[in-house]
Amino acid sequence: MNFKKELAAILYGLLNQEIPEAQLELLIEKPKFPEHGDLAFPCFTLAKLKRKSPQAIAQELSVQIQSLSFEKVEVVGGYINVFLNKKLVSEKLLNKVIAEVGQFADQDFGKGGTITIDMSSPNIAKPFSMGHLRSTVIGNSLALITEKCGFKPIKINHLGDWGTQFGKLITAYKRWGDAEKVRQNPIKELLALYIKFHEEAERDSSLEAQGRSWFKKLEDGNEEANSLWQWFREESLKEFSRIYQLMNVEFDSFAGEAFYNDKMDRIVHLLEEGQLLVESDQAMVVDLKQEQLPPCLIKKSDGATLYATRDLAAALYRKENYDFAQSLYVVGHEQSLHFKQLIAVLGKMGYDWAEKMVHVPFGMMLKDGKKMSTRKGKVVLLEEVLNESIAMARQNMEEKNPHLIHKDQVSKQVGVGAVIFHDLKNHRMNDIEFSLEEMLRFEGETGPYLQYTYARGRSILRKANYQAKVLPENGPNTWEKEWKTASLLMDFAPVIKRACENHDPSIVAKYIIDLAQAFNKYYAEVKILEENKNLEARLALIFSVTVVLKEGLRLLGIEAPEEM
Ligand code: ARG
């Protein structure tokens, strides 16, 4: 079903194999306007080569292009415009969707290679931030997209569960903490303790020293310190799990920073062996002047290791444990420098696989144009945001479709889907303005709009009692009005491939919006169930559109309710 390839192969023959087929394929465009056909081949490059006018070359070639797949070949300016055979192509395409359903557009260029995806990675005892939400949503979608392309994704939650802040937290808890309160509301309570520590430390300078000493105890395996840390970690994880459950996200590994504690000596040793460690300001660093980067901090004067050291250990562990073909880090762009340093240090250590590590950065979530984050003790709890979105979706539903059954389930699917789609519809580097009203609208580029389009398609199929079955090829149906929508189905596989290669779910998001819009336009123009002529073709088209919408939404991590 790759007509670009087919056209390229024909041109390759016509041009006496002078220009590689792949190069010809790259030249072929998809015209902006339907009156220019489905494929366009610009002859300007050839014109230079052959010292003829582009028009003359287009003319000469166009009369020789022949294939059953093509209905018409025209020349406009220096372009050869090719119109696909609507009947043949539509029937083949829909039959493929009908036969493959959820497997339609599956690809195997990933060749089973493993991709580790470092995603979500919130910090223990701190609120789950908007940045962590973005990382979760983007990472989850990349896992689904890469899997569709034949890779084996491994989703890793690199929890922020180690560092000097835990010494401070233990100090604060021992002074002012209340076990019952922590159990009831772990993150709010632990955050309050952490904030109190910093307030009190301004007056009482001994606190910092106590914090350091408790962290030292923690690192040395002191039992009390360890059991408190363990408890904070578990309580925090319980809270995070509720968010993951709401969003339907699972992980293959929760190996966070603490997991690498016993793997740090080896890193330091390897760096020493490679003579890469130098002393600077009483700390051990890897110099990266050559790479034009600031030095990478490995070990502090008191022996404590750092975020970067743990990431070095994690990278090595992932390579040895998963033998990844690619290793992705879905982390906000404010950590770009950290990942550049990380990759540079591993390169210096002689690991050629460092090239397979990719930082997949993203922009910020804004509210009224400002960064949305933990504001002075006032926490924007993500769980509350999700629950509010679900409640609003429910309210909409009570107004629009009060008799719907499964209201709980559907409002969850719509409320959560709205938040996810709003995040994924723009290129990840763009900042996003957070607005529940906006993301829950039923019109425009929103999750509910897509889910609604899907549910509407399913409802037509139910009314018509449609059972998916293969269409007779060269049957009685006509495809003029259906063409815009049907031909879009062809793009699904290449769209997924591009999203995979660019680590960019928005390519899939934009595509399903285009498909839904084309379908809704068609639906408004054609009284689908009223005239019987062509009914089978129409239903096959609607069925195929619902299959692709559902699969497209799935690749973004969004569910498609059958009714809403
Ligand atoms: N916990 C970190 C933070 O919230 C993100 C960790 C990202 N992953 C990594 N391997 N460094 O900023």
Q: Which two tokens stand for residue 281?
A: 């300001």
Q: Are 388 and 523 in contact (CB under 8 A)?
A: no
For residue 504, is pLDDT > 80?
yes
> Using N-to-C axis directions, what is the helix angle for 223-247 and 407-424, rounded to 10°?
100
For residue 531, is pLDDT > 80?
no
The Cα 181–Cα 228 span in angstroms is 15
Q: Give the closest residue (by CA) to ligand 1 atom 6.
A: 121
DSSP SS3 for 2: coil
Query: How many Cα atoms sit within 13 Å of 19 on the Cβ side?
Result: 19
The Cα 493–Cα 476 span in angstroms is 28
pLDDT in tens, 373-388: 554 445 567 888 899 9
> Strand order in 70-76's β-sheet?
39-42, 79-84, 70-76
Tell me the residue type at 6: E
The Cα 26–Cα 8 span in angstroms is 9
With the C-alpha atoms ordered 223, 229, 235, 237, is the resulting torsion angle positive or negative?
Answer: negative
Per-residue pLDDT, 1: 82
Centre of ligand 1 from the C-alpha of residue 122, in Å: 7
Per-residue pLDDT, 380: 60
329 ligand 1 Cβ < 6 A:
yes
The Cα 249–Cα 133 span in angstroms is 11
118 ligand 1 Cβ < 6 A:
yes
What are the angstrom distances between the C-alpha of 441 and each of 142, 415, 453, 519, 561?
25, 11, 13, 19, 16
With the C-alpha atoms ordered 406, 408, 411, 417, is the resulting torsion angle positive or negative?
Answer: negative
Mean per-residue pLDDT for 217-233?
95
Identify which has the larger pLDDT, 473 or 446.
Answer: 446
In this prediction, what percent of the chain has a pLDDT beyond 70? Answer: 98
Q: Which long-range contacts (CB under 8 A, 24 or more apart) does 548-551 make?
A: 548/97, 548/104, 548/105, 548/489, 548/492, 548/512, 548/515, 549/450, 549/453, 549/454, 549/457, 549/512, 549/515, 549/516, 550/102, 550/454, 551/102, 551/104, 551/105, 551/492
Mean per-residue pLDDT for 230-254?
95
Burial label for 232, CB within 10 Å (0-12, 13-18, 19+), is buried
311 ligand 1 Cβ < 6 A:
yes
The Cα 306–Cα 486 span in angstroms is 54
Centre of ligand 1 from the C-alpha of residue 313, in Å: 14
- Return the closest-CA partner of residue 413 out of 549, 314, 545, 554: 554
Q: What is the 3-state secondary structure (H, E, C) of 446-490?
A: CHHHHHHHHHHHHHHHHHCCCCCCCCCCCCCCCCCCCHHHHHHHC
The Cα 181–Cα 195 span in angstroms is 16
The Cα 302–Cα 199 span in angstroms is 25
- Alpha-helical (H) ranges within 185-222 are 186-203, 206-219
DSSP letter, residue 426: S
Mean per-residue pLDDT for 141-147?
98
For residue 494, is pLDDT > 90?
yes
pLDDT in tens, 333-372: 999 999 999 999 999 999 999 999 999 999 998 887 877 7
Mutate to test the pocket of ligand 1, among 158, 310, 334, 340 (most ligand atoms within 8 A of CB): 158
Per-residue pLDDT, 377: 47
The pLDDT-based confidence of 478 (bands split at 50, 70, 90) is confident
Per-residue pLDDT, 373: 58
Query: Would you put residue 98 in left (φ > 0), alpha (ψ -120 to 50) or beta?
Result: alpha
Per-residue pLDDT, 489: 97
366: which residues sit within 8 A by CB, 6+ positions away?
372, 431, 432, 433, 434
Q: Are 69 and 85 in contact (CB under 8 A)?
A: yes
Domains with residue ranges and CATH for the chain? 3-84 (3.30.1360.70), 163-236 (no CATH), 382-555 (1.10.730.10)
Mutate to test the pocket of ligand 1, among 116, 121, 336 (most ligand atoms within 8 A of CB): 121
With the C-alpha atoms ordered 512, 514, 518, 520, is the resulting torsion angle positive or negative?
Answer: positive
Identify which has the larger pLDDT, 369 or 44.
Answer: 44
pLDDT in tens, 6-17: 999 999 999 999
For residue 253, is pLDDT > 50?
yes
| Residue-averaged pLDDT of the chain | 94
Mean per-residue pLDDT for 256-276?
96
121 ligand 1 Cβ < 6 A:
yes
Mean per-residue pLDDT for 475-482?
88
Q: Which helix or strand (DSSP H or E) is residue 278 part of?
A: strand 277-280
236 ligand 1 Cβ < 6 A:
no
DSSP letter, residue 107: -
The Cα 101–Cα 3 span in angstroms is 21
Q: Give the closest residue (by CA) to ligand 1 atom 8.
A: 158
Q: Give the closest residue (by CA) to ligand 1 atom 1.
A: 160
Q: Are 429 and 333 in contact (CB under 8 A)?
A: yes
The Cα 80–Cα 91 span in angstroms is 25
123 ligand 1 Cβ < 6 A:
yes
Per-residue pLDDT, 374: 52
